[in-house]
Chains A and B, each alone.
Chain A
């Protein structure tokens, strides 16, 4: 490391100092590594590809385990994503691996919206991280990072060119995630066709402005390897978990009547290159790129969308506080306005209802009066009739006593009333 590097990398305000003996801070990287070992690592891979193209098999082969994926049907109405998390361990390194597979990609009749669930998933992971980062009481150091670090895009081995679905999807994803395109089922293409296919794919990607992940060249130890590998993109892979006896060894391979395709043979396919690049050489860089480039871009867009700015139109720095205050006032004013409106509407309705009820009351009152007067009339009529009846009764009574007086004495009136009445009726 040249001293100019030192000055550039660290700070212009610091002067270089030479040490007269061994101090001991060269153990710092070890301390850092030890801490990371105790914390464990996180890695999330997203596999996009059509159903049956070999995503699950490749994952099994890459990580040398059986992830217990079941075959999906071809009749999914929409693209879905299925995420599964596994804990792996190799020597003393613990890795929490999340593999996200697309289910039903490329199966629908209308594939216009196929990319949307993928974009939504990636954004959701960024959003969760952003929420955690913005919290007041946060626990970033224990946080299980679910952001997608690498996206393996499986290209079907037609031998001609990329499908338009591939181009559209990759274009939507290139600013959100590190895309590594792979040619799946590469044992169906012959070597010469493969070479032409790769060139065609890369030129199509370049002409459509799709930015795929380039292996980093700034670290001298790996720059050479990475440059060569960059020239081999996209990797043509074959996956297999079955073992076949070749020579006197058991190797992972696919057995055909005409021969055996060995997965880990570099002449047969690029699987070893993919494994080396993805895991052994660049895993840390993939994670770093996801955090410093893709996540920062997302964060910036999201916050700007909400109206937060770093500088206002006069180019004076605006603190987040001021913008937040302004927004909060607006929000409260909005709430207040709505509340007032609702209150007005409420008052209006109450008035109307009151008027209605008054009207009804008045009507009822009217009817009541009516009924009351009718009732009084009828009562008067009845009283009249009763009076007449009473009069009749008294006059009858009088006549009866008069008739009784006129009767000859000794005529005893006994109980036969009917006869008497009849008799008196005659008189």
Chain B
């Protein structure tokens, strides 16, 4: 975007340098000082390796492992619970507040109808809290962001197709949150089985109109589309998680040791964990947060503000803009 007053400058101390590009450095400094927030939700049946995957992703004990000795009845909750744990982590001066939201009990009961409801409610509650803070008269300098940025959905490695529960859940939630589906415990599938499973899953997602992250409609330009198309070819990622290190070829690597070999978690020939990690953390994290903030949250806001126009009893702010205008004309 070159405007009519195009002042192309070169860097370096000669007199034609203005210094506009120093703003990038200023912005980076401010961002580092403020720190970042990331809220991840993991959804899947118990035993699929959700906690282990979180620990592998962030290379630390993010979720406390459920102790194996506990009573089996205690372990499976009667309804879907939402457990949210926050951690402060830091890497090379970048501080992040990571919140992992666990959903024990999802898909574990005999009758699983409506088991997505507590989750939907939780996600919408976070949007609601943000909205309430935003419309306050006296609001905080930086509104605390507890909105769920990304939901990782664990698909059990049956090798056939998606179950009705999976389809229902993803269909409903892809409209309110970014969903990243992963095939859990992918070391039970051979490479051919894995590929055909993925193919089936992709077709089913398309057939049911489920738009998972990265959504096609939010691609900004051709470059984005190219990068995202490559990712869309690989979804869902077949992952293996492990937080134990083993000696392989003289190096200590994260992996799972079995009698027939060691599965290296970060080896892309073995599983796609590295792709998932790159997508979530190294390349698309900011993009995930932006889509949550500018699209999912705005959709929620529009819906809520329009809703209460018809129901005066609902507890939230109205079309304040219209009122604002009307009253300012009055005054």
For chain A, residues 84 to 112, give those with C-beta under 8 angstroms from any C-beta of chain B.
Answer: 86-96
- A26 adjacent to B93 (CB under 8 Å): yes
Alpha-carbon gap, A159 to B277, bound state (A): 64
CB pair A21–B59 under 8 Å, yes or no, is yes
Q: Least Cβ distance of B308 to chain A in Å?
A: 6
Distance (Å) between the CB of B132 and the closest chain A CB?
8
Task: Tell yes or no: A398 within 8 A of B by CB.
Answer: no
B247 within 8 A of A: no
Most buried by B among A27, A28, A37, A63: A28
Query: For B6, what are the chain A residues with a Cβ–Cβ distance below 8 Å?
Result: 87-89
How far apart are the CA atoms of A19 and B281 in the complex, in Å? 14
* Cβ contact within 8 Å between B86 and A23: no
CB distance from A270 to the nearest CB of B (A): 16
- Residue contact B90 to A23, C-beta cutoff 8 Å: no
Q: Which of A28, A288, A308, A331 contacts B285 (CB 8 A)?
A: A28
Q: Is the CB of B323 within 8 A of A17?
A: no
Interface mask (A188-217 → B, CB under 8 Å = 1, otherwise 0): 000000000000000000000000000000
When distances are taken between beta carbons in the complex, the residues of chain A under 8 Å from B230 are none
A307 to B331, CA, bound (A): 12
A275 to B20, CA, bound (A): 10
Which residues of chain A from 68 to 96 have a CB within 8 Å of any chain B CB?
86-96
Q: Chain B residues near A308 (CB, 8 Å)?
A: 137
Interface residue from A19, A66, A131, A282 paired with B26 (Cβ < 8 Å) = A282
Q: How many residues of B contact A (CB 8 A)?
A: 96
When the two chains form their complex, are residues A136 and B19 in contact, meaning their CB atoms are under 8 A apart?
no
Q: How far is the CB of B21 from chain A (nearest CB, A)?
A: 4
A19 in complex: contacting residue of B29, B89, B318, B321, CB < 8 Å: B89
Q: A320 in the interface, Cβ–Cβ < 8 Å?
A: yes
Determine if A94 and B1 form an interchain contact, defined as CB atoms under 8 angstroms apart: yes
| A298 → chain B closest CB, angstroms | 12
- Assembled-state Cα–Cα distance A32/B1 (Å): 20
Residue-wise interface mask of A (20-38) relative to B, using a CB-CB cutoff of 8 A (1 in contact, 0 not): 1111111111111111111
Q: State whether A17 touches B87 (Cβ < 8 A).
A: yes
Chain B residues with Cβ below 8 Å from A13 are: 86
* Given A28-B286, A141-B294; A327-B316 close (CB under 8 Å): no
Q: Which A residues touch B188, using CB under 8 A?
A: none
Specify the chain B residue showing the minimal Cβ separation from A319.
B315
Q: How far is the CA of A9 from the CA of B312 in the complex (A)?
A: 39
Decide if B298 is an interface residue (CB 8 Å cutoff). yes
Mark contacts of B179-203 with chain A using CB atoms, 8 A cut-off: 1 yes-contact digit, 0 otherwise. 0000000000000000000000000
Chain B residues whose C-beta falls within 8 Å of the C-beta of A89 in the assembled complex: 1-3, 6-8
Q: Is the CB of A35 within 8 A of B290?
A: yes
User: Using Cβ atoms and an 8 Å threshold, which residues of chain B touch A324?
Assistant: 317-318, 320, 323
* Stretch of B30-38, B75-83, B170-178, B232-240 on the interface side: B30-38
Q: Please name all residues of chain A whose beta carbon is closer than 8 Å to the beta carbon of B18 when the two chains form the complex.
A: 62-64, 88, 90, 275, 279
Residues of A within 8 A of B3 (CB): 86-89, 96
B26-A17 in contact (CB<8A): no
Q: Is A221 within 8 A of B29, CB to CB?
A: yes
Q: Which of B23, B27, B290 has the most CB of A within 10 A?
A: B23
Bitwise, A39-56 to B at CB < 8 A (1) or not (0) is: 011000000000000000
Chain A, range 239-272, C-beta contacts under 8 Å to B: 251-252, 264
Report B307 CB to chain A, min CB distance, Å: 11
> A6 touching B2 by the CB < 8 A rule?
no
Contacts of B319 in A (CB 8 A): 136
> Does B138 count as interface, using CB distance less than 8 angstroms?
yes
Chain B residue nearest in CB terms to A310:
B137
> Which residues in B have their C-beta under 8 angstroms from that of A86?
3-5
**Which residue on B lies nearest to A291, using beta carbons?**
B141
B84-97: CB near A (< 8 Å → 1, else 0) gives: 00111111111111
Please determine whether B323 and A91 come into contact, CB atoms closer than 8 angstroms. Answer: no
Contact A19 B59, beta carbon cutoff 8 Å: yes
Decide yes or no: A37 and B33 within 8 Å by CB, A6-B90, A87-B4, A321-B316 being known contacts. Answer: no
- The answer to whether B135 has its CB under 8 Å from any CB of chain A is yes
Q: List, in ascending order, chain B residues with CB within 8 A of A131's CB.
A: 321, 324-325
Residue of B nearest to A67 (CB): B5
Task: Collect the chain A residues with CB atoms within 8 Å of residue B206's CB.
Answer: none
Which residues of A are found within 8 Å of B60, using beta-carbon distances? 17-20
Q: Decide if A283 touches B23 in the complex (CB within 8 Å).
A: yes
- Distance in angstroms from B213 CB to nearest chain A CB is 15
- A65: which B residues are within 8 A, CB to CB? 5, 7
CA separation between A308 and B323, bound complex, in Å?
A: 11
Among residues of A, the one whose C-beta sits closest to the C-beta of B266 is A21
Which 9 A-B pairs rank lowest in CB-CB distance, beginning with the nearest?
A87-B3, A14-B86, A31-B286, A284-B26, A280-B19, A134-B321, A320-B317, A26-B92, A280-B22
List chain B positions with a Cβ less than 8 A from chain A: 1-9, 11, 15-24, 26-38, 57-62, 86-99, 132, 135-139, 141, 144, 220, 277-278, 281-287, 290, 294, 298, 301-302, 305-306, 308, 312, 314-321, 323-328, 330-331
**Chain A contacts to B: CB under 8 angstroms:** 1, 6-7, 9-11, 13-38, 40-41, 62-67, 86-96, 130-131, 134-138, 140-141, 219, 221-222, 251-252, 264, 275-276, 279-285, 288, 292, 296, 299-300, 303-304, 306-310, 319-321, 324-325, 327-328, 331
29 A-B pairs within 8 Å (CB atoms) are namely: A14-B87, A15-B86, A22-B91, A25-B36, A25-B281, A28-B94, A31-B283, A33-B24, A35-B286, A35-B290, A36-B24, A37-B24, A64-B15, A64-B16, A86-B5, A88-B5, A89-B2, A90-B21, A92-B21, A136-B301, A138-B298, A221-B29, A281-B22, A284-B26, A306-B328, A309-B137, A310-B137, A319-B317, A331-B330
